[in-house]
């Protein structure tokens, strides 16, 4: 269910979509309709109550009884069931707008480029249908096939998807950011790609917590027959990519305000930023400084670590080691 606000235009879209659905279903419970449209029962009731009193001005311009929709009020009020008994003006699904079709087509292009989607023909057919089902030519939006994660992970993705739907555990070796390999047993919950990288989210039996694993750091992945442990409701996959726990390290950063989106994955929602001259300062939490040195070195001239000194030193050391290679290489070439 979406947490985004539902505006008047969204409500209109729901009304126009709901009418043909109700006519098609003939008789449907509020709960089923809500589940089908993935909205709250309250939104469905609001929509039905409005549909039931709506219609066209009609011959008399007075919205007479026959000019209005009507529903079986007994069924609705007593059994929470919707039955449309009289319809006016609409009976079919509306077309997609140019923007709606474009958003879905670009999404499909991204899917088509994923390693495990070998059915490009089906996707091409679907894109053609969306174009035909739009009320104007879809706007110019496109995703290149090279936008996606490498092809080596196709087999791993298949193994993980099978384990998630079969609710079985997986085992693998994981290369952590410190460069160490550890054997992990994980109850897989979600496999997620973000831009170019794939991530597995799952309950880690080594850490006793939900953890995020980068797929390209996983090796020797094996599915098992063991069912996943039951974790109850406390196991929710966090919407943030990186896990934060109470024992995490705090790091104070300084950067230009418009560079904030570049580090959004690391920023806890609601984190406070403080203006400092023409830049902002904020504190992020990391599990260790090894990921941080890569992050900061990859945003040269933008992000500075202010504290702690240990983190600053690690970043300086990392970048200096990188730069030193060039001096050594130049010297070697000259010799």
Partner 1 sequence: MVAVSVEERLFSLVLALLASEQGLGKAEILSTVQGYRQRYVLGGDNASLDRQFERDKDDIRELGIPLETIDAPDRPGDSQSARYRIPRALYELPADVTFSAAENALLGLAAAVWRDGSLSEDSRRAITKLRSLGIETDDAVIGYAPRLRVREAAFGPLKLALDRRQRVSFLYLKPGQKKPLLRTVDPHALVVHESRWHLSGFDKRARAPRTFLLSRIVGPVKPLPGETFDAPAAGAAERSLAELQRVWQGNVAVLGIVAGSDAGLRLLKRSGVSPTDSGRYELHFTDLDILADELAGFGPEVLVHAPAELRAAVRSRLLQVSGTHQDGGNA
Q: Is the dihedral of CA 252, 254, 257, 261 positive or negative?
A: negative
Nearer to partner 1, 46 or 80 (CB): 46
- Maximum separation of any 2 CA atoms in the chain, in Å: 99
215: which 2 tokens? 């797929």
How far separated are the first and last CA of the chain, in Å rounded? 66
In sequence order, the β-bridge partners of residue 171 are 185, 222
Nearer to partner 1, 74 or 129 (CB): 129
* Minimum gap (Å) between residue 84 Cβ and partner 1: 14
* Minimum gap (Å) between residue 213 Cβ and partner 1: 13
**Residue 34 dihedral angles phi and psi, to the nearest 5°:** -65, -45
* Minimum gap (Å) between residue 117 Cβ and partner 1: 9
In sequence order, the β-bridge partners of residue 202 are 188, 211
Cβ neighbours, 10 Å, residue 266: 20
**Alpha-carbon gap, residue 10 to 97, rounded angstroms:** 13
* Minimum gap (Å) between residue 155 Cβ and partner 1: 13
Nearer to partner 1, 147 or 209 (CB): 147
Nearer to partner 1, 75 or 302 (CB): 302
Nearer to partner 1, 82 or 108 (CB): 108
Nearer to partner 1, 206 or 307 (CB): 307
* Minimum gap (Å) between residue 75 Cβ and partner 1: 19
Q: Is the dihedral of CA 151, 154, 160, 164 positive or negative?
A: positive
* Minimum gap (Å) between residue 208 Cβ and partner 1: 21
**Alpha-carbon gap, residue 183 to 170, rounded angstroms:** 11
């Amino acid at each position: 269910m979406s947490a985004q606000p539902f505006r008047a235009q969204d409500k209109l879209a729901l009304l126009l979509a709901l009418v043909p659905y109700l006519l098609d279903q003939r008789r449907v419970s509020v709960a089923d309709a809500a589940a089908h449209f993935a909205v709250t029962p309250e939104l469905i009731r609001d929509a039905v109550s409005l549909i039931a009193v709506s219609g066209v001005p009609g011959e008399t311009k007075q919205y007479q009884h026959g000019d209005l929709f009507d529903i079986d009020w007994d069924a609705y009020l007593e059994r929470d069931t919707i039955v449309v008994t009289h319809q006016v003006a609409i009976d079919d699904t509306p077309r997609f707008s140019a923007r709606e079709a474009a958003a879905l087509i670009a999404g499909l292009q991204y899917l088509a480029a994923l390693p495990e989607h070998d059915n490009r023909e089906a996707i091409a057919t679907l894109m053609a249908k969306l174009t035909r089902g739009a009320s104007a030519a879809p706007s110019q939006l496109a995703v290149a096939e090279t936008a996606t994660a490498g092809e080596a992970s196709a087999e791993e993705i298949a193994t993980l998807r099978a384990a998630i739907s079969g609710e079985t555990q997986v085992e693998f070796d994981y290369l952590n950011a410190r460069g160490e390999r550890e054997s992990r047993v994980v109850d897989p919950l979600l496999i997620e790609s973000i831009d170019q990288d794939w991530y597995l989210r799952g309950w880690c039996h080594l850490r006793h917590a939900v953890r995020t694993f980068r797929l390209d750091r996983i090796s020797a992945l094996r599915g098992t027959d063991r069912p996943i442990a039951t974790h109850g409701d406390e196991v929710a996959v966090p919407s943030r990519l990186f896990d934060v726990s109470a024992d995490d390290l705090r790091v104070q950063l300084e950067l230009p305000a418009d560079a904030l989106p570049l580090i959004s994955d690391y920023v806890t929602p609601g984190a406070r930023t403080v203006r400092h001259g023409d830049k902002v300062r904020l504190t992020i939490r990391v599990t260790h400084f090894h990921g941080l040195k890569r992050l900061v070195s990859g945003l040269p001239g933008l992000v500075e670590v202010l504290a702690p000194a240990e983190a600053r030193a690690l970043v300086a050391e990392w970048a200096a080691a990188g730069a030193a290679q060039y001096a050594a290489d130049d010297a070697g070439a000259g010799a």
